[in-house]
Each structure stands twice: as structure tokens, then as C-alpha cells.
Structure 1
Amino acid sequence: MTTRYVALLRAINLGATRRVPMPRLREALTARGFGAVRTHLGSGNVLLDSLLPEAELAAELTRAIDDEFAIDVPVVVRTADELADVVAADPLGHVATNPARYSVTFYAEPLDPERVAALPPADGWEYVPRGREVYIWLPDGLQSDRRTERAWTQLLGVGTNRNWNTVRKLAELTR
């Protein structure tokens, strides 16, 4: 039985390097046998059907991107149901007034409670760690506060961030 997944590619198409054209990515993944391959935006959001379990799928997608584009791209995967749960949880919806400044950082593994406890205190912004995600509300925007990305990477490991508009749209597209 196939599972509908959302694959979140980290740090592609942000500048002149690490370019991954979405039409070519869709073709490459379809050629590898993934079903109903679709991309959303140009920032590395892929919807697809697969028989593989999550960890194997993430590894296979990383290999496929390296084979096709010669770049190493970490991939975080969620099922349609898991993404729906992320949206339903919405722990900062009561304070996040601008969905472009509200985001979720997705991690491949569950967050380590000791590492979460070591995160810096929020100062003018808020965050809520939950499961394999960190919800982040930055009222002044992500660009104004790069410390969050450094803190998450140094303390929690490599994840990939999507704004709330994108998270909701991906959940909608998986239905």
C-alpha cells in the first residue's frame, strides 16, 4: 500500500547555488518510481506516493537529488496525516497574527528533551517544541532574527523551516 508523503528539502533554491529546478526534480522522482509527484513553490516541497517507510524514503530522495543535481540535500519527510496533525496542533495560533512570520521547523527525529531545555529564552518572539517540530512566532520576521536558525541547528540538529502559509497549503494538497 502506498503512502502519501510530503518531502521537505532543506536549503535549496535560496541563491545562485544549490539550484534544483522543480520540473526536472518531478521528472527524476517519477522516473525512480514514485507516484503522483507534485511540487509546491520552488523552495523544495514535494508531494509524492511511495511504498517506502519514512527513513528509507528520505534517504532515497537525498540520493536521487545527489544523483540528478550533484548536491547533498537533507530531506525531512511527513505523511499526510502527520502534516495534518502539525496544522491541527497550532500552539501559537492565538498569538501569531501574520502567517508569513509564523513557521514550523521540521526535524527527522523526535526532539531531545535535554537539547530543547538548552534552547535560548525567547525575547520578543515565541517558540513551542512538539514531537519532531518547533513552532516559531517571530513578529518582526525571520530575516530580522537569524539567531533562531543558528540555535536550532546547533542545539537541535539540522531541520528545515516552512512558514505557516506553506505548511497549511501542503496539508491541504495532501488531502
Structure 2
Amino acid sequence: MTRYALLLRGINVGGRTKVPMAELRQLLSGLGYAGVATLLQSGNAVVECDHGPGELVAEVERAIGDRFGMAVPCLVRTEEQLRGVIEGNPLATVHDDGAKLLALFLSEAPDPELLRHNDPTRLDANHIRVGERVIYQWCPDGARNAPDVRRFVEQNLKVSVTARNWNTVCRLREMLAG
């Protein structure tokens, strides 16, 4: 079985997509996943299953839609993938506050041609770096005062994005290694 971090986009943010974590854990356990745990109230979960990533995403998105009546995009990462995000952080020497460093996870690698014409680093060349299926963004004045990389990427690169602060990324990796 493989352990995955589930990154559910927009859960419990802004009041429109309320999903109690106890109900999410119950839903995921009911799908037959083992080792179900959640982190914070914002759509982070860890599960173990025999599914591949695509099958897992489809099943979780369908189950959330059926149970809660909402479309919630789900991205998944393994412990190895999260370790790669952490070890590959090109802003590691720049940031000093994990709450102000974001990892914007992409549903898939963007088309290289689209990326060439729509490079998100142009939004803030000093604070944004593109990695493998992740964009790193340092927000020294807080995320609310930083360029909206998520919206830019979704509109221009045509991939789904969900962001987590660095503290959450590191904690999810610890849970997966656990």
C-alpha cells in the first residue's frame, strides 16, 4: 500500500465549502483507506491505499461530491514527492517564516510552451520559483499582499493549483513518513 497526502482545494476557506474533518476522516475510512488522518481544518489528509494517484483522486472527488454536494479538486503527493519539494526548495535560504512561504502544488506539469509564454516568475521575480509540479512563493508581507500566482497559473497554464504554507508541507511530509 502507498501512503498519500490528499490536498483538497478550498475546503473550509471562505465559508462556501465547509467539510468537518471528522466527517472527512469518516468518508475516507468508508472508502476503505487505511491510516486516515487529517491535518488542520483546511483539507489536508493522509491515507494508505492500493490505488494509483489518478484512481485515488477520481474516487475522492466523486465521494466528496456525493456526500457533501460540492466539487472539490483533489491533488495527491507521496512522501517521496513531498520530500523532493522540501529538498528542492530554491527559496530555502531566503525565507525565515514557514507561514509566509507557499508551495503551490500543480495537478500536472504545465505544457512547456504555455510555461515559456506565461512564466509565473514574471509576477515577482525575486520571490517566485518554478519547480517540478510545484511553484514556490515567498510572501514577506503575507500571502494577501502577494501576487495571486494560483489564479495566474490556472488561467494561463491550464492546470489546477492548491497552495499550502511551508509549515503545513513539512508537517504533511512528517505524517507520511510517520
Provide structure 2 residue ranges, at least 5 long, that are not aligned to the other structure.
none
Amino acid of the structure 2 residue aligned with 1:158: S
Is 1:149 matched with 2:150?
yes
What secondary structure is seen at the aligned counterpart in 1 of 2:35? strand
Greater CA drift, 114-123 or 135-144: 114-123
Greater CA drift, 78-87 or 122-131: 122-131
Tell me what 1:167 maps to: 169
The Cα of 1:113 is off from its aligned counterpart by: 2.1
Tell me what 2:12 maps to: 13
Tell me what 2:131 maps to: 130
Tell me what 2:119 maps to: 119
The Cα of 1:125 is off from its aligned counterpart by: 4.5
Amino acid of the structure 2 residue aligned with 1:11: G
What secondary structure is seen at the aligned counterpart in 1 of 2:109? coil
Provide structure 1 residue ranges, at least 5 long, that are not aligned to the other structure.
none
Q: Using the alignment, how far apart are the partners of 1:69 and 1:122 within structure 2?
A: 36
Amino acid of the structure 1 residue aligned with 2:99: A
**TM-score normalised over the length of structure 1:** 0.93
Q: Cα deviation per residue 1:94-123 (whole Å; 9 max; x = unaligned)?
A: 111221110111112113222222135143
**Percentage identity across aligned positions?**
39
Tell me what 2:27 maps to: 28
**TM-score normalised over the length of structure 2:** 0.92
- How many residues are treated as equivalent by the alignment? 174
The Cα of 1:124 is off from its aligned counterpart by: 7.0
Classify 1:84/1:124 alpha carbon distance in 2 versus 1 (closer, same or farther; 3 Å): closer
Q: Using the alignment, how far apart are the partners of 1:149 and 1:111 within structure 2?
A: 13
